[in-house]
Amino acid sequence: MPFRGWALAHPGGLPARPRRPRARPPRTRGGAVPEAARRVRTGSAGLADAAWPYAEGLHADGAIDWSDFEGSLLDKARPAFPDLPPAGAASAPRIRSHLRGLVSLEVYGHLRSQTVRPDKRFDQELTALVRSLNVPTTN
């Protein structure tokens, strides 16, 4: 998986890294870290868009509207995925958190006491994520 491989090779580049109290984030413009973060955001929105035909029935209540989103997200997501409705767009952060969460635990050493095969655990998490989106899987 490209994201996992990149994160393991660049552990300081994970945007959601734990910070010390009163620490300010680095003032980085451009470069590998912001570009990687942009690709992860775009990729998770792309996955949400691809999964929407399967996941649509899970969001039948229509409780999410475009007015629930922050403006800069709308400026980027809606032109890139014009057919993705608000409920589909709302699943992108959940997708991203699944991907980043387990990788962050691995990068910062929290999985060492739990598994000797973090790659296998990551693959299992991806399978669970796909199933949670109601996307059919093949073996």
Query: Is 3 inside any structural domain?
Result: no
Each residue's pLDDT tens digit, 81-139? 999 998 888 888 888 888 888 888 888 888 888 889 988 988 898 888 888 889 887 76
- Distance (Å, rounded) from C-alpha 88 to C-alpha 77? 11
Other CB atoms within a 10 A radius of the CB of residue 53 amount to: 12
92 neighbors 36 (Cβ within 8 angstroms): no
Mean pLDDT of 65-74: 81
Range of the domain at 107: 31-132
Domains held by the chain: number: 1
Query: Is the pTM above the cut of 0.85?
Result: no
Whether the predicted pLDDT of 44 surpasses 80: yes
52 phi and psi angles, rounded to 5 deg:
-55, -40
Query: Is 104 inside any structural domain?
Result: yes
pLDDT of residue 54: 92
Query: Is 13 inside any structural domain?
Result: no
